[in-house]
Structure 1
Amino acid sequence: MATRDNDTTVNQTKKKASLSLFPLLSLLCFASIFLCLSLSNKASISQQPHPASFQQFNPNDPNARFSSGSCDYSHGTWIHDPTYVSHRYDATCKEIFKGWNCALNNKSNAGDITKWRWMPKGCQLPPFDPVLFLETYRDTNIGFVGDSLNRNMFVSLFCTLRRASSEVKKWRPVGADRGFTFLHYNLTIAYHRTNLLARYGRWSANANGGELESLAYKEGYRVDVDIPEGTWAEAPSFHNILIFNTGHWWWAPSKFDPVKSPMLFFEKGLPIIPPIPPDAGLDMVLQHMLHFVERKQRAGAINFFRTQSPRHFEGGDWDHGGFCQRLLPLLPEQVEEFFSLGNNATNVEARQVNQHLHRALEGSGFHILDITHMSEFRADAHPSTAGGKKHDDCMHWCLPGITDTWNDLLIMHLNNLKGRN
């Protein structure tokens, strides 16, 4: 009897122990299932295509630090910050050329263009502080000299500073296309339009003959490689800081047709014989213009030469049905497909021009503002069909947009130079 009671007691004890373990076992089982599902989900996400050229913004990333020291600002990664709201300026800035105002023109991704932020290799560009800039560069004249891509950059800087200071007077230095003075700071910024840097104009054969006429040239464009275009000839003696660019017009067959209206280069008033091709003419112009600036510049002046702004035409050039409908930055392999010198692509001019620039600038007092590689990824940031032209605008940039980052880079270089001095 005592044995049966003992057996009953033992069985009841085991049953209670089993019941008490059940919740724990259930919890462990549930956790195991959840972990397996999570790992499975992570595996499926990692197998999805992930752009190697950009990533999601992580403000807690220890590598996303500000740096004013050694940094390769021209190479890095575009990071996407979907929560970012820019207070730099908006589509209401009246200086924005209508064709570049992608928000007002209802470009589908206009609001997302500024949510991509450039992270240089190993560091990060600090945000642009317009008030600090105005204070730092008080009593300074800043000039942009070049084609419409430099105007793109000029407008970006103006709109940013205009948001911080309302005391602005429209005023153009000699030869400038546009200019403004921020009165409280006595800071002037201006844009001097020039397509080739050198002076050029229509040329027609002389009835009395000449060296070019003897070679059967009937018409074209005379380019004086040693004479600056009048629009900016006075700029070096006025501005403390100059940002130059050229390149797009040198590869413009619709303007300088190599047969019907070729570039004909002159030096010291005489035609260069035998005639040289545009790339050789570009080399000569760069040499002469750099020397001209260094002779005429103000004491302590800082001169930059901006590298080529890339175009993103697909399916042909601008006058042959080319388009740019992408809504995301390019991947690295796509960048090479667009711009590789080896495949002679539609947009190859960017790297071609840069080769000439780097050769010319070597040993000069000019600083290189290298924006090419960072911009090559941004096929999503052009006006495209929202530009209002008969063809897609895959050359200029939406504003607000990528030229804001060019100005961030410019200011970082200026501040570094100021720190060294």
Structure 2
Amino acid sequence: MATSTTQQSAKKKVPLFPLLSLLCFTSIFILLSQFRNTSSTSNTVHTFQIHHSSCDYSQGTWIHDPTITPTYDNTCKEIFKGWNCISANKSNALQLPTWRWKPNHCDLPRFDPVKFLRTHTHTSIGFVGDSLNRNMFVSLFCSLKSVSDGQVKKWRPAGADRGFTFLNYNLTIAYHRTNLLARYGRWSASDNRGALETLGFKEGYRVDVDVPESTWAQAPSFHDILIFNTGHWWWAPSKFDPVKSPMLFFKKGQPLIPPLHPDQGLDIVLKLMIQYVEDKARPGAVKFFRTQSPRHFEGGDWDQDGSCQRDWPLSAEQVEELFSVKNNGTNVEARLVNEHLFKALKGSGFVILDITHMSEFRADAHPASTGGKKHDDCMHWCLPGLTDTWNDLFIEHLNSINGRS
């Protein structure tokens, strides 16, 4: 009887096997599905962070740290004379490299030039822009040259104004000078009574919005890493007088009528040049666009006896007073230019290198009256100095991209 009962019990338990197996299989399937979904989400965030770092490096504080030593000194021959504030005996020149930018919610490490040389072999880096990008280019070159254990060959690849190759590493860095990105040159009225002549224009500057300047036109197909900038020359009435020598914009060889204001021309040039770079860039190239470098003229513009004689960074309140768009002061161009840059770069493949706000504090870091000009140079930066921090930021972004791609 007991045997019969046991057999009946066994018969009742057997159907549980497939049921348990089915439950286990279903649970495993659900867990795997959730893992795959989580993994997919993680990858999406991972790709997004390549272009938008989880840390906002633009917001922070300058900390004075006298223990900091620059990676190079004033003997670097590539430093333009007007930027060599140590040799020019600027009173605070030796203090400039002892300021460290501390973002609010993370750290910005100083880049290691030895490591950079070793990890960027067979690489070409191109700076494309005005003299402020040259300021940044010289900072990077001097840092690398100070630790290079081999020959450095000077050459100008792909139309560059300046260029060097570190032969032991096959690393090239070059600077391509361009003020507007687009090609431009003098224009004078002719006898054919064209559209501009009919409107009364007699002379000015022709800006071909769809044609890159020849100095950098080949750069996207040559360099593996590109850093662009433009801005100062678009707000330069001393160069492009709106009455005597205005910017006159052309597209496909024909003048754009009605004539555009410079800020409208900037929008078109940015759109077309960004597209040009993305079409011509090498596969896998990393493309940066640096935001506007602020000027620090106080008491008037450069031609109105404006000066920058401070020897200490500005406070947050002083920064807003000097740069707020609402105040429309002498140095308002920085934030105005950035409005155009952010709009044009939205949705592009460029990484934004935002150096503007951190630089707004540094009214102390310009050559000022030691720059060798008839007026204070409150636009360019002393070397060693602020643009070393720009390169820290550039290389931190670059490392982040290389580590996550």
Q: Per the shorter chain, which TM-score range?
A: 0.7 to 0.9
Deviations 1:240-290 (A, max 9, x none): 000000000000001100000000000111000000100000000000000
**Does the Cα contact within 8 Å between 2:111 and 2:396 map onto a contact in 1?**
no
Which runs of at least 4 in structure 1 moved beyond 4 Å after TM superposition? none
1:74 aligns with 2:90: no
Shift of 1:200: 0.1
RMSD (Å), alpha carbons: 1.0
Among 73, 77, 98, the residue aligned to 1:115 = 98
When the two structures are superposed, what TM-score results if normalisation uses the length of structure 2?
Answer: 0.86
The aligned counterpart of 2:347 is 363
Map 1:233-252; keep pairs closer than 5 Å.
233-252=217-236
Name the CA distance, whole Å, in 2 between partners of 1:412 and 1:320.
Answer: 39
Map 1:177-326; keep pairs closer than 5 Å.
177-326=161-310
Deviations 1:351-394 (A, max 9, x none): 00000000000000011000000000000000000101000000
The aligned counterpart of 1:414 is 398
Shift of 1:407: 0.2
Shift of 1:310: 0.2
The residue type equivalent to 2:395 in the other structure is I
Name the CA distance, whole Å, in 1 between partners of 2:390 and 2:85.
Answer: 18
Name the CA distance, whole Å, in 2 between partners of 1:420 and 1:200.
Answer: 39
The residue type equivalent to 2:86 in the other structure is A
The aligned counterpart of 2:336 is 352
The aligned counterpart of 1:373 is 357
The aligned counterpart of 1:385 is 369
The aligned counterpart of 2:72 is 89
The residue type equivalent to 1:110 in the other structure is A
Structure 2 spans left out of the alignment, 5+ residues = 1-52
Where relative contact order (Cα < 8 A, 6+ residues apart) is larger, the structure is 2
The aligned counterpart of 1:133 is 116
Shift of 1:174: 2.0
Structure 1 spans left out of the alignment, 5+ residues = 1-68
Name the CA distance, whole Å, in 2 between partners of 1:128 and 1:80.
Answer: 18
Shift of 1:127: 2.1
Shift of 1:82: 2.4
Shift of 1:111: 0.7
1:158 aligns with 2:178: no
Among 115, 130, 137, the residue aligned to 1:147 = 130
2:211 is paired with a residue whose SS is strand
**Does the Cα contact within 8 Å between 2:227 and 2:287 map onto a contact in 1?**
yes
1:319 is paired with a residue whose SS is helix
Among 302, 310, 313, the residue aligned to 1:329 = 313
The residue type equivalent to 1:189 in the other structure is I
2:309 is paired with a residue whose SS is coil
1:227 is paired with a residue whose SS is strand
Aligned residues: 353
| Structure number, greater radius of gyration | 1
The residue type equivalent to 1:317 in the other structure is D
2:394 is paired with a residue whose SS is helix
Name the CA distance, whole Å, in 1 between partners of 2:206 and 2:54.
Answer: 44
